[in-house]
Amino acid sequence: MNTGGFSTILQCELKQFNGGLFESTSALPINRDQLNLLIEAADSDWRNVEPAIFGTLLERALDKNERSSLGAHYTPRAYVERLVIPTIVEPLREDWKTTVAAIADLVHSGDTAAAVQAAREFHRKLCDTFVLDPACGSGNFLYVALEHLKRLEGEILETLASLGQPQELYTVNPHQLLGIDLNPRAAVVADLVLWIGYLQWHSVPAVPNRSLSRS
């Protein structure tokens, strides 16, 4: 899984998994009961898994002293949005509101090409927006930011579709979300959380206002 390619054991091609989760090839010692739990988990449908659960798992994996020294307390979504919405979402939405008004005027005047250009320019601006969390933990701040950016992107793509334009090739993606943390395990989990959220957005019908109990 770390490199991808043909597996002689499984006799099939494996995709490469990012995030460094499989860099170590050492096997953990597990008993039969634990193996059965893993088999049961593998049979479950993980498409709608809430990515924020990984923050809870990481927090529980830290011992008390390590948790205290790192300040590893994972923040509920409601608290995260108090910061994300006014600092990231609202300024972008104000700019989009202005752009939508300009697009409407251009369409009304018959200049559809200019309207399309205005929408595309704003979309490029959104795809060039970067967010940095200097103490990212397992990525709840970044995950919520990504979700709001994707929602705004959806509105832009709907506008372009209404103007007769095909799906854009570029898109808001996890490479725009940057995180730093003292705990390297947290940074790896944050990367995983972002990619799970991104893939869910493109493959699973969105569930509005899903609860994030941890980050």
State the number of CA atoms in the 13 A half-sphere of 136 facing the CB: 26
Give the pLDDT confidence of 141-183 residue by residue, as tens digits.
899 999 999 999 999 999 999 999 988 888 999 999 999 888 7
Give the mean pLDDT of 27-51.
86
- Specify which residues 178 forms β-bridges with: 132
Residue with tokens 């608290």: 79
pLDDT for residue 64: 63
Question: Which amino acid type is present at position 148?
Answer: H
- Mean pLDDT (the chain) is 83
pLDDT for residue 205: 53
Give the pLDDT confidence of 57-81 residue by residue, as tens digits.
666 665 666 555 544 456 677 888 9
Neighbours of 89 (CB within 10 A): 18
Distant-in-sequence contacts of 41-47, Cβ < 8 A, 24+ apart: 47/200, 47/203, 47/204
Q: If you count them, how many residues does the chain have?
A: 215
Give the pLDDT confidence of 171-215 residue by residue, as tens digits.
999 999 999 888 777 777 788 888 888 988 887 554 444 433 333
CA pair distance 168, 164, nearest whole angstrom = 12
